[in-house]
Structure 1
Amino acid sequence: MASSANSLIDSIKSSLTKLAPLEAVLFDIDGTLCDSDPLHYYAFREMLLEIGFNGGVPITEEFFIDTVAGKHNDDIALALFPDDLQRGLKFVDDKEALFRKLAAEQVKPLNGLDKVRKWIEDRGLKRAAVTNAPRANAELMVSLLGLSDFFQAVIIGGECEHAKPHPDPYLKGLEALKASKDHTFVFEDSVSGIKAGVAAGMPVVGLATRNPEHLLMEAKPAFLIKDYADPKLWAALEELDKAGAH
């Protein structure tokens, strides 16, 4: 058992070294910079309850993960209101307004985010936020987290030809930073986001903030971490630094 555990640690450590010298890091926002999914879940659950969705039975966290988490609002609207897309689009707009109100009072950075931010800044790396959230949400979250000056670009899935899980938003992020996919990696917390990063040709460090680890692993991240203080992440970044120094 020990040898297989050691080989797993070695593969995690070396999973990012091929990117040396590192040029850029791309971040999703919801669930990646902050644990905002509970606020989204609460907003959806309360508003769907008000309109008697699902016979007046509150949606479960499983339903939220399957139908909503990481997906683009147009797809969510269609899933919730398959017979009335206009009503669905209005509903998700109203839900986002409630979410922004909740977020303004409750959003906090994920554990260790300051440490990874400093690591990136100290190395002068390029960085962008890449999200399926509407621009109003994305900019609010980045601002609430004190990252407005940190990100050099904020890419919105709905402003690309296709949102995640398509690679377009991540490819647009690379383009905005003038960075190469061969020297960039991604932080993501959802299945659709990990799939998008992998499809764009980059290693993805998956954050197991809320979504089940077995589902995240099916999307093929380089490895999973609990948060930015996870020793697995720092072991991999240390190896990457060493590889870049040669």
Structure 2
Amino acid sequence: MVFPNPVKAVVFDMDGLLFDTEAVFRIAMARAGADHGVAVSDAFYASLIGLPPDQGLVMMRAEFGAAFPAADFFACCHGHFGGLLDSELRMKPGVLAMLDLLDRRALPRAIATSSKRASVDHHLAHFGLAHRFDAIIAHGDYPQGKPHPAPYLHGARALGVAPEHCLALEDSHNGVRSAAAAGMMTVMVPDLLPATDEMRRLALRVADDLLAVRDMLARQD
């Protein structure tokens, strides 16, 4: 595949792309649902993927009622999530290979995520990857979350590279919408959410994993 513009930087999503956190968070949310007497369906969980926390609160109240203690629910969910991380957190296939290629090509890279900075720092430290990213754009660093383009525009600005020369890598529908709206060359690497017709229109390509993305980038002259 030939990218329409030279790739001068790469902006990664985090959850579901670099780390297998979405599957772990699904378990945590099911446990929090049991604690609060509600059943969280797979479809509803899928609708939350890629959204910032404040939008998640709104959607929880819309799903379970205005009086539902959404903030307490998410606190409970994060408690379960934290308890699962040490044993369940996994790096996604191809992460190290992709970063090695970027090192060889001296291409800057950033993370643009809906997660809070503390979560980013924890996950990167867990795998010894903190030094391998030039910028971190996390929840609170931008005025509007995904699917708004702000997270990716902030990522491009932090790297000093025009959005049209950035390769954006995403697993979620809202993330693909965000990156595409920012004007980035976007590749979707599906995790829990399959690629839809809309995603195939917005993304340059749908890749099986980051190894496939590495191979695509390696073929660029």
After TM superposition, is the score higher than 0.5? yes
Match in the other structure for 2:208: 226
Superposition CA RMSD, Å: 1.9
**Counterparts of residues 38-187 of structure 1 (less than 5 Å):** 38-53=23-38, 58-66=39-47, 68-82=48-62, 83-84=66-67, 87-187=69-169
The yes-or-no answer on 1:30 pairing with 2:30 is no
SS at match of 2:17: coil
**Does the 8 Å contact 1:27/1:129 carry over to 2?**
yes
**Does the 8 Å contact 1:130/1:154 carry over to 2?**
yes
Query: What is the Cα deviation at residue 176 of structure 1?
Result: 1.3
Query: What is the Cα deviation at residue 215 of structure 1?
Result: 6.2
Unpaired segments ≥5 residues, structure 2: none
**Does the 8 Å contact 2:98/2:214 carry over to 1?**
no
Whole-Å separation in 1 of the counterparts to 2:143 and 2:137: 12
Match in the other structure for 1:194: 176
Amino acid at match of 2:207: I
1:95-138 Cα offsets, whole Å, 9 max, x none, are 22332331232211111111111000111111111100122212
What is the percentage of aligned positions where both structures have the same residue? 25
**Does the 8 Å contact 2:153/2:182 carry over to 1?**
yes
Query: What is the Cα deviation at residue 160 of structure 1?
Result: 1.1
Match in the other structure for 1:19: 5
TM-score normalised by the chain length of structure 2: 0.91
**Does the 8 Å contact 1:161/1:168 carry over to 2?**
yes
TM-score normalised by the chain length of structure 1: 0.82
Amino acid at match of 1:198: A
Runs (4 or more) in structure 1 with deviation over 6 Å come to none
Unpaired segments ≥5 residues, structure 1: 1-12
Rate the CA distance shift 1:107–1:151 in 2: closer, same or farther, 3 A: same
